[in-house]
Structure 1
Amino acid sequence: MSSSTRRRRIVRTAVGLAAVLVLSVAGAGAWFYHRLDSNITTFDAGGVATERPPAPVPVTPGASVPVNVLLLGSDTRDDGNADLGGGEEGVGHSDTAILLHVYADHKHAVGVSIPRDALVTIPSCKLPSGRWTEPRTNQMFNSAFTIGEFPQGNPACTQNTVEALTGLRIDHTIVVDFKGVAAMTEAINGVDVCVPNDVNSHNIKLRKGMQKLSGQPAVDYLRARYGFGDNSDIGRMKRQQAFLSAMISKIQGQGFSLPTLLPLADAATRSLTVDEGLGTAMKLVDFAQSLQSIKLSDITFVTTPWRFSGDRVALVHPDVDTLWKLLREGRTLDGQNTGQVADPAAASPSPSDAALPAVSPTALSPEQAAVPITVVNGVGTPGLAGKGAEAVRAKGFQNVALDATSGSRLRTEIAYDPAFRTTADQLVPLFPQARSVEEPGSGGITVTLGRDYHPATATKPDATGTPAGPTTGPTTGPGSGATATPGGVPTGIAENARGADTDPCANLTFG
């Protein structure tokens, strides 16, 4: 055999081996993608409302448009989730809801947490029978997920609710359960988070400090309420935002390559329910890769401006309306344009929610002005009750008494006789973080000041020499809607915002 013949045979053999290798790898890849696709559960698009906010259009042909993704955490105990979350099996609630708004430049993003207890209008939603419900007002937000008692929940109903609430068109909805959280955190070898204090409550044990969490401990961190601050869902949302920031940072650090994303997709798809637009592994990977240009410093989390309304949460106007308007118009939370604006038709005022009381001040009637109000110092700070009483009198109330009782109350409380409920609502702008509580038979209203109340120091007397109240208005807390920061951002937005690159141990509890 000649040397040239041998060389040709070697070349043919090498080419053949290369072809076999390519086909083998391609076959394995196809098998892997097929396995991922078979993992994914999609929900019926037939449950999505037919009347929806308009889809954004490119400002120039071929330009990118904003993307809105609704992330829902289901607390269902079905399908083995009881092993991670405890409790009994059954239809879960969407106790975690984050609307991720990716701006048209795909370089900025905002994640908006919607409190599970927020009182909203749930629009018409599809039942298993095919019938559509009537709209329901004054409902807890997380109850939308349970309408129809679908075994996997009703994400389409929650999507309809968010679209009606915000005026934003939701492009994708993703539901993850406890198993999904555990699997994804294990796939990226844990998430570095900060636990603000030792916790040993309701079968959840966590130790204080920075640590890497995955699997069960990660689930515990995200779902725990008791043992932190005032045990409220508000504090839990702060930790969820910090956790997602850390998880995004971890994935960005590993890179958005297929070796990183495919194992993550494999873990996620076994416990995800998504809309049909994300119903394949490649669509999920493509979507994840489309976000790789967003720096951690250009991601902001914010909780919708809120206030307590008894045991529930009211969304505060006009701050929450401003938040939705900023997103519809393609502007950042401080009002800056990101370069490409959504369809002007989508920038119309958001649908009003008649069930939610506005908290903007109105004039008092003579009867309201005469209602007996007692301002109690629930902290012990000298002069605190007097400062609170000044703010109440400046509002126009005339029958105001003081009680200097000290204590260690965390949150301000407005206790009112049911006959004076509308009058008590007039106090909300002065004490926006207060919990409102009915107190039958009290014959008046008692405002017990907590550590959340920080009165302004400056007052200006009127012509009679009576203090007319703080010149800058009362210091406001989350969800007040009463003032704006020097940069023009409504206080209810600014005080509920958190940069994704914020100190991981900062602002993790409430109350």
Structure 2
Amino acid sequence: MTRTSEARGGGARRRTGRRQRRRLRPALVVGLSFLVLVTAGAGWLYLRLSGNIDTFSADGVSKNRPDADASKGENVLVIGTDARTGGNSDLGGGDKSDVGRSDTAFLLHVYADHRHAVGVSIPRDTLVTVPPCKLPDGSWSPTRTDVMFNAAYSTGETAEGNPACTQNTVEKLTGLRVDHTVVVDFLGFSKLTEVVGGVRVCLPDDLYQQDLDPHRASRGARIFTKGVQSVSGQRALDYVRIRHGIGDGSDIGRIRRQQAFVSSLIKKIKDDGFTPTRLLPLADAATKSMTVDSGLGSADKLLSFAMSIKDVDLHNTKFLTVPWKYQGSRVAVVQPDADALWASLKDDRTLDGKDASGGRAARAVAAPSAAATGDVDGAGASVAVYNGTTTAGLAGDAARLLTAHGFAVSATANAAAQDHATTTVTYGAGQRAAAQDLARLFPGAVLTGGTGLSVVLGSGYAPGATAPATAAPAPAPTAVPSGVAAGARSADDDICSHLSYG
């Protein structure tokens, strides 16, 4: 090839390179512009969502709080408020200068495995102890006993209410640390139901204007028809607020319908899918509707929490009301059932006694002792007995002891390991009382939740030993009584079931 032809070839290559670079420049510019727009859009969206969020000060949160490390699960207090500020009076009625009130509250426990959750409703008329709470002038209120639960939110008598006081009261009531508090108002709730395209609900009867406003002189027009329907906006708000015309017209019945509504809302959101198209309008509406503690006071924190619970199965999402009974016209907490519920949540045990701690070993709880065991009656409860030591014959000896006290021994065998120092009594759902009686026969035994009733003998077990002369206080139980668990609602239950009380 001649020099001229070489030069021509080189020039052609240079021209081809320049053409390729010219073609690449627009593509590069478009690509970079796209990245800038996406980044700017994400930033705009982040600022928009964060700008929507209102927070309340942590100054009013009690300094005397339950241990933050007691459970690996998270506890979120959700408060529904009828504060009249910011357009809420148009939806809820009432004077705009009125005190902010809370008619709805539940404690949502998200188990450490992020596969289970339970929401425990606390009726507004429940008689509780309200601990000291910060007032608008900076002072703290005195402790109040036997007052209605919703009085906590009204402490200080401001239009915005006092969510920190409600949080303090829930921690006092449950012994659980509230990790986050979320307040949802009328207007925000109404908008949220519109964004999701309506929520399916069910009514056991036709309802009329007088049922929503009992002060009306006449029944008025029909506002709801019996059966399944979709509601949003004002109608959704009316559904969750209505008390009269269904069952005994109590707040307890209304709580059941609210639990059914929240279940249906969760189902709708999960069915629609966690896509950006669905999530962004939902996040926008949700952040506009809420006042949160400072720990959730940014878009990334809220979205991170939301995504952490997206895998909780509907069937494993439960709702129930704190164990209660009527005390005159008010509601009293039933013990020890309520303490059993709080203890199970603290230990990350589901309502049916399963370990949902995400692999964390269950905490053993010291079993109660008694001055004598003569009054122990097993009432035919079936127990398996295992020897957890190298001493021969202990299982047979314990089986004879249990039989003498009315238990039915289903099996005697060696345990999987013979190095147990302490006797352990294991029990399943609904067997706590039987387990406590059984443990009285084995001084120093510990109770732990599990499946079925059984005892593994440790080296501390001595045949014929009796309990100490001084009775120790009963421990906080670790399983929920069967009657409490049976009243729970799953998020996938029939929406027409358990909608009233009385």
How far 1:257 sits from its partner (Å)? Answer: 3.2
Q: Which residue of 2 aligns with 1:267?
A: 285
Q: Which residue of 2 aligns with 1:503?
A: 494
Q: CA separation of 1:93/1:255 partners in 2, compared to 1, >3 Å: closer, same or farther?
A: same
Q: Which residue of 2 aligns with 1:361?
A: none
Matched residues in 1 for 2:67 and 2:105: separation? 22
One of 140, 158, 168 as aligned partner of 2:176: 168
Structure of greater Rg: 2
One of 188, 194, 199 as aligned partner of 1:180: 188
Q: CA separation of 1:162/1:240 partners in 2, compared to 1, >3 Å: closer, same or farther?
A: same
Matched residues in 2 for 1:13 and 1:175: separation? 50
Q: Which residue of 2 aligns with 1:458?
A: none
Q: CA separation of 1:3/1:203 partners in 2, compared to 1, >3 Å: closer, same or farther?
A: farther
Q: CA separation of 1:29/1:334 partners in 2, compared to 1, >3 Å: closer, same or farther?
A: same
Q: Which residue of 2 aligns with 1:290?
A: 308
Tell whether 2:88 aligns with 1:70.
Answer: no
Q: C-alpha deviations, 1:76-103, integer Å up to 9, x for none?
A: 2222112111222222222110100000
Q: Which residue of 2 aligns with 1:309?
A: 327
Count of aligned pairs between the two proteins: 368
Q: Matched residues, percent identical?
A: 52
Matched residues in 2 for 1:342 and 1:276: separation? 29
How far 1:147 sits from its partner (Å)? Answer: 0.3
Q: CA separation of 1:273/1:501 partners in 2, compared to 1, >3 Å: closer, same or farther?
A: same
Tell whether 2:116 aligns with 1:103.
Answer: no
**Equivalent residues in 2 for 1:116-265 (5 A)?**
116-202=124-210, 204=212, 205-265=223-283
Matched residues in 1 for 2:483 and 2:334: separation? 8
How far 1:345 sits from its partner (Å)? Answer: 9.6
Q: CA separation of 1:72/1:78 partners in 2, compared to 1, >3 Å: closer, same or farther?
A: same
Q: C-alpha deviations, 1:100-134, integer Å up to 9, x for none?
A: 00001010001000111000000010011111111
One of 292, 297, 300 as aligned partner of 1:279: 297
Q: C-alpha deviations, 1:288-337, integer Å up to 9, x for none?
A: 11101111011111101111111100011111111111111111112221
Q: CA separation of 1:36/1:147 partners in 2, compared to 1, >3 Å: closer, same or farther?
A: same
Tell whether 2:62 aligns with 1:49.
Answer: yes
**Equivalent residues in 2 for 1:308-457 (5 A)?**
308-340=326-358
How far 1:177 sits from its partner (Å)? Answer: 0.7
Q: CA separation of 1:151/1:337 partners in 2, compared to 1, >3 Å: closer, same or farther?
A: same
Matched residues in 1 for 2:124 and 2:191: separation? 24
Matched residues in 2 for 1:241 and 1:341: separation? 30
Q: Which residue of 1 aligns with 2:92?
A: 85
Q: CA separation of 1:347/1:79 partners in 2, compared to 1, >3 Å: closer, same or farther?
A: farther
Tell me, yes or no, if the aligned pair for 1:71 and 1:100 is still in contact at 8 Å.
yes
Unaligned regions of 5+ residues in structure 1, if any?
Answer: 59-64, 350-483
Matched residues in 2 for 1:190 and 1:110: separation? 24
How far 1:256 sits from its partner (Å)? Answer: 2.4
Q: Secondary structure at the match of 1:259?
A: helix
Tell me, yes or no, if the aligned pair for 2:317 and 2:490 is still in contact at 8 Å.
yes
Q: Which residue of 2 aligns with 1:434?
A: none
Q: CA separation of 1:155/1:489 partners in 2, compared to 1, >3 Å: closer, same or farther?
A: closer
Q: Which residue of 1 aligns with 2:30?
A: 17
Tell me, yes or no, if the aligned pair for 1:329 and 1:341 is still in contact at 8 Å.
no
How far 1:68 sits from its partner (Å)? Answer: 0.5
Q: Which residue of 1 aligns with 2:440?
A: none
Q: C-alpha deviations, 1:342-390, integer Å up to 9, x for none?
A: 89999899xxxxxxxxxxxxxxxxxxxxxxxxxxxxxxxxxxxxxxxxx
Tell me, yes or no, if the aligned pair for 2:131 and 2:169 is still in contact at 8 Å.
yes
1:11 maps to amino acid:
L
How far 1:4 sits from its partner (Å)? Answer: 2.7
Q: CA separation of 1:138/1:91 partners in 2, compared to 1, >3 Å: closer, same or farther?
A: same
Matched residues in 2 for 1:147 and 1:348: separation? 39
Q: Secondary structure at the match of 2:243?
A: coil
Q: Secondary structure at the match of 2:170?
A: helix
Q: CA separation of 1:131/1:321 partners in 2, compared to 1, >3 Å: closer, same or farther?
A: same
Matched residues in 2 for 1:186 and 1:320: separation? 36
One of 31, 49, 61 as aligned partner of 1:36: 49
Matched residues in 1 for 2:120 and 2:298: separation? 26
How far 1:258 sits from its partner (Å)? Answer: 3.2
Tell me, yes or no, if the aligned pair for 1:66 and 1:342 is still in contact at 8 Å.
no
For normalisation by structure 2, the TM-score amounts to: 0.70
2:333 maps to amino acid:
L
Q: Secondary structure at the match of 2:325?
A: strand
Matched residues in 2 for 1:148 and 1:256: separation? 40
1:123 maps to amino acid:
P
Please, which moves more after superposition, 339-348 or 309-318?
A: 339-348
Matched residues in 1 for 2:491 and 2:357: separation? 22
Q: Secondary structure at the match of 1:51?
A: coil
Please, which moves more after superposition, 85-94 or 149-158?
A: 85-94
Q: Which residue of 2 aligns with 1:114?
A: 122
Q: Secondary structure at the match of 1:250?
A: helix
Tell me, yes or no, if the aligned pair for 1:328 and 1:346 is still in contact at 8 Å.
no
Matched residues in 1 for 2:486 and 2:127: separation? 21
How far 1:29 sits from its partner (Å)? Answer: 2.1
Matched residues in 1 for 2:193 and 2:357: separation? 35
Matched residues in 2 for 1:194 and 1:84: separation? 22
Cα root mean square deviation, aligned: 2.3
For normalisation by structure 1, the TM-score amounts to: 0.69
Q: Secondary structure at the match of 2:152?
A: helix
Matched residues in 1 for 2:361 and 2:52: separation? 36
Matched residues in 1 for 2:186 and 2:264: separation? 18
Matched residues in 2 for 1:17 and 1:495: separation? 61
